Amino acid sequence: MIDYAAAALSAVALLLLYTVHRWRNPRCNGRLPPGSMGFPLVGETFQFFSPDASFDIPPFIRQRLARYGPIFKTSLVGHPVVVSADEELNHLVFQQEGELFQSWYPDSFVEILGRDNVGEQQGTMFKYLKNMVLRFFGPESLRESILRDVEHTVCSSLCTWSTLPAVELKEAVSTMVFELSANKLLGLEPSRSKVLRKSFFDFVRGLISFPLYLPGTAYYACMQGRMSAMEVLRQVLEERKQSAHALGGGARPHGDFLDYVVQEITKEKPVLTEGMALDLMFLLLFASFHTTSLALTLAVKLLSDHPHVLDELTVEHETILNQRQTGNESDGDTVTWKEYKSMTFTSQVISETVRLANIAPGIFRKTLKDVQFRGWGVMVCPLAVHLNPEIYPDPLTFNPSRFKVTLNS
């Protein structure tokens, strides 16, 4: 009896060892880079989601760069992933979008962004959604209306803030950008967008967190925020559909993105489903307000810490104002397209701020054809490239003029 028990235990131990070995040495149609797959099932997920508030490369990436080099393998939320901090491979991934690589995110991220989000669409449908967005937010719209609306919103907000004893900058900027985005996308006034804004703020707070859906966890709060936001979006979409039906369809009375959406989903043979439309609006709202407000808040801090950069920026803008007063090409007090395009140093400040802002810690793709690690997910890590001293000398220093050198070269 004891022999049978010992044999069973030995078999279980061997099976466990085999499972761990297979996990740590996965099969691949190609040659895998070095790295660790961590523990079975969870991989290195806990280490990946460890919080880090510094401007530097996150410890998870930094430690593995030092140990394995710029390309390494790991396992995140149950998926084998090749992480790239290599500039050439990152360029190849984006250059070969749709050919060698396609958009892909782990299941937990898909749950957060929606099963019908644009990142889950491929081929013709992806191009259709991309063109739909560019039709409204492309260069022509930027020139004709968005630039004017942004200036009006910023001036109005600055006037309001100037009357207050103090301003919590991050919250104030986030609110300003969200209200502008909600108005351009959905036609919502500030009073109506307040509830939606709260849902999105709850969503963002738990966005980069371990995917454990239990009350009290950040991920749970994130998903609750998403569900609340989606409910508001459904109501707004239904109201607009009824309004369009009353007007006989085809009209775009509000001039916002939602008009385009309603026009597409109410066609006789629609390509766009309501589920895709809702996930698209959710993603656009999130992307437009979260990344922009983060970059703007950081820009103010960096300019405050570097007065010589602020002085140069001020000179550029005062020069434009002086030329406006002496010339005949101005459009009143509104920034013209020509003035916007002439803001060379402003553009360098923006580029340097975005380089340091860590707006997108990881961008996921999946291999389609015969590359070295076919069938694996690939996580492009822009921050590791942006903070690489071989590409950007003294990478943690705020130096917009480095982009002047880049442009000239």
CA distance 248 to 133: 24
What three-state secondary structure class fits 73?
strand
pLDDT in tens, the chain (409 residues): 556 665 556 555 555 554 554 555 555 445 788 888 888 778 888 888 777 767 788 889 999 999 999 999 998 888 888 899 998 888 888 888 777 777 777 777 777 777 777 666 777 887 888 888 888 888 888 888 889 999 999 999 999 999 999 999 999 999 999 999 999 999 888 878 888 988 988 888 877 777 888 898 888 998 999 999 999 999 999 999 888 777 765 556 778 899 989 988 888 888 888 988 999 999 888 888 888 888 999 999 999 999 999 999 999 999 999 988 776 555 667 899 999 999 999 999 999 999 998 777 677 777 766 565 666 788 888 888 999 999 999 999 999 999 986 555 4
Alpha carbon of residue 177 to chain centroid:
15
- The arrangement of strands across the sheet holding 101-103 comes to 71-76, 79-84, 377-380, 363-367, 101-103
Return the domain boundaries, the chain: 1-27, 123-301
Q: Which tokens belong to 67?
A: 């140990």
CATH code given to domain 123-301: 1.10.630.10
Q: Taking the complete model, does pTM exceed 0.85, yes or no?
A: no
Q: Which tokens belong to 385?
A: 């490239």
Q: What are phi and psi of 400, to 5 degrees?
A: -60, -25
CA distance 48 to 62: 11
CA distance 178 to 198: 10
Alpha carbon of residue 229 to chain centroid:
18
CA distance 311 to 297: 18
Residue 113 parent element (H or E)? helix 107-113
